[in-house]
Structure 1
Amino acid sequence: MIGGAQTHRLADGGLIDRSVPLSFRFDGKTLVGFQGDTLASALLANGIKLVGRSFKYHRPRGILTAGSEEPNALVELRSGARREPNTKATTAELYDGLEAASQNRWPSLNFDLMSVNQLFAPIFVAGFYYKTFMWPAKFWESVYEPMIRRAAGLGRAAGVSDPDHYDKAWAHCDVVIAGSGPAGLAAALAAGRSGARVILCEEDFVLGGRLLADGGTIDGLPAAEWIARALGELSAMPDVRIMPRTTLFGVYDGGTYGAIEKVNDHL
């Protein structure tokens, strides 16, 4: 059966391509999803709901949202020198061979010894360590600080030099648009038709924003058809640049915007 034991997968629908199964690993277990999945949707399709532990008390945490606002499903991607901690599973595009691991647990996600912290919640108030670990003073560097540092944090940094190289570039436009929802696409169409140079950035790998989930009609067309027509028209405009998998992260002096584009894993 194509797709393996995806026990929680709907029989049809969605924005995935069921003819293209993708194999991936989570916490050492091999699983299968489909092209168009995020890591989060693939995990849910395989019946995996526990994906992490809370920072302080190590309480069980599942997937709460479907986008970049996700507070719980923070995972490590890849391993070795390319390990990338604290990646949101809801924004990680599934690809064949993806390797992911849960964080903030020991020795395992289902059996986390640090969850004993829940029993001490009444005394683990904010800043308790500033009063608790003051005496004896000589214990701070030898015992207290190493213990706290070992327990603190979420993901693990690679600890070795990054073997990859990163390009940077300057692009110029009259209008930059963040997001490809109905407002973003309509703005891009209006600006593009006026002859303006346009850059449309979308952090997701599929364009359409909330229309992908909400549906409905625009200009008398079903949402999916309107998106397809809008993207077709924008793609034909020579001065419009569409950049999926690209997140605008800052606005700076002089009308300068910072963006980061993902170009590797999905390939």
Structure 2
Amino acid sequence: MVGGAQTHRLADGGLIDRSVPLSFRFDGKTLLGFQGDTLASALVANGVKLVGRSFKYHRPRGILTAGSEEPNALVELRSGARREPNTKATTAELYDGLEAASQNRWPSLRHDFLSVNQLFAPIFVAGFYYKTFM
């Protein structure tokens, strides 16, 4: 099995076909999913909780919903000329060889340089700039 055991996946049930394993990459790490998975469901099954960072303050973002209303799990699919940014992981169908990357981080998702902005989180609550200037 590529990427190790899927410790966060139920043993049976659901709408996936467990007889068709698919290999994909997220931030350079090879993981395993199944036919019928979305990128989000395969990431959750592999125990991936952090999928990106917020644009302005680089706060950590994970998968919040299971459908098209997902506000957090925005990823970049493919690379080069076929690069597709700001794709919702919950609507991206998994296929063999899919390459996905997290967004709004440098140099890596786990060790983002601009996550230092979190030190000022008590001052910059959500929407503070709207409330300040009203």
Please, what TM-score do these two structures have when normalized by structure 1? 0.45
Is there any run of 5+ residues in structure 2 with no aligned partner, and where? none
CA contact (8 A) 2:2 2:31 kept: no
Change (3 A) 1:120 1:12: same
CA contact (8 A) 1:50 1:60 kept: yes
CA contact (8 A) 2:75 2:102 kept: yes
Shift of 1:26: 0.2
CA contact (8 A) 1:2 1:21 kept: no
Shift of 1:6: 1.1
Partner in structure 2 of residue 4 of structure 1: 4
1:59-118 deviations in whole A, cap 9, x for unaligned?
111100011110000000000000000000000000000000000011111111101112
Q: Distance in 2 between matches of 1:18 and 1:125?
A: 43
Change (3 A) 1:2 1:110: closer
1:183-240 deviations in whole A, cap 9, x for unaligned?
xxxxxxxxxxxxxxxxxxxxxxxxxxxxxxxxxxxxxxxxxxxxxxxxxxxxxxxxxx
Structure index of larger Rg:
1
Percent identity among equivalent residues? 94
Shift of 1:55: 1.9
Partner in structure 1 of residue 89 of structure 2: 89
What do you get for the CA RMSD once the two structures are aligned?
A: 3.3
Partner in structure 2 of residue 43 of structure 1: 43
1:20-49 deviations in whole A, cap 9, x for unaligned?
000000000001100000000000000101
Partner in structure 1 of residue 32 of structure 2: 32
Shift of 1:120: 2.9
1:157-177 deviations in whole A, cap 9, x for unaligned?
xxxxxxxxxxxxxxxxxxxxx
Shift of 1:5: 1.8
Shift of 1:57: 1.6
SS at match of 2:63: coil
Partner in structure 2 of residue 210 of structure 1: none
Is there any run of 5+ residues in structure 1 with no aligned partner, and where? 135-267
Change (3 A) 1:35 1:115: same
1:107-152 deviations in whole A, cap 9, x for unaligned?
1111111011122346658999999999xxxxxxxxxxxxxxxxxx
Change (3 A) 1:4 1:133: same
Q: Distance in 2 between matches of 1:93 and 1:122?
A: 38
Please, what TM-score do these two structures have when normalized by structure 2? 0.88
Shift of 1:7: 1.4
CA contact (8 A) 2:3 2:30 kept: no
Q: Distance in 2 between matches of 1:3 and 1:19?
A: 17
Equivalent residue pairs, number: 134
Change (3 A) 1:115 1:9: same
Change (3 A) 1:2 1:78: closer
Q: Distance in 1 between matches of 2:129 and 2:66?
A: 35
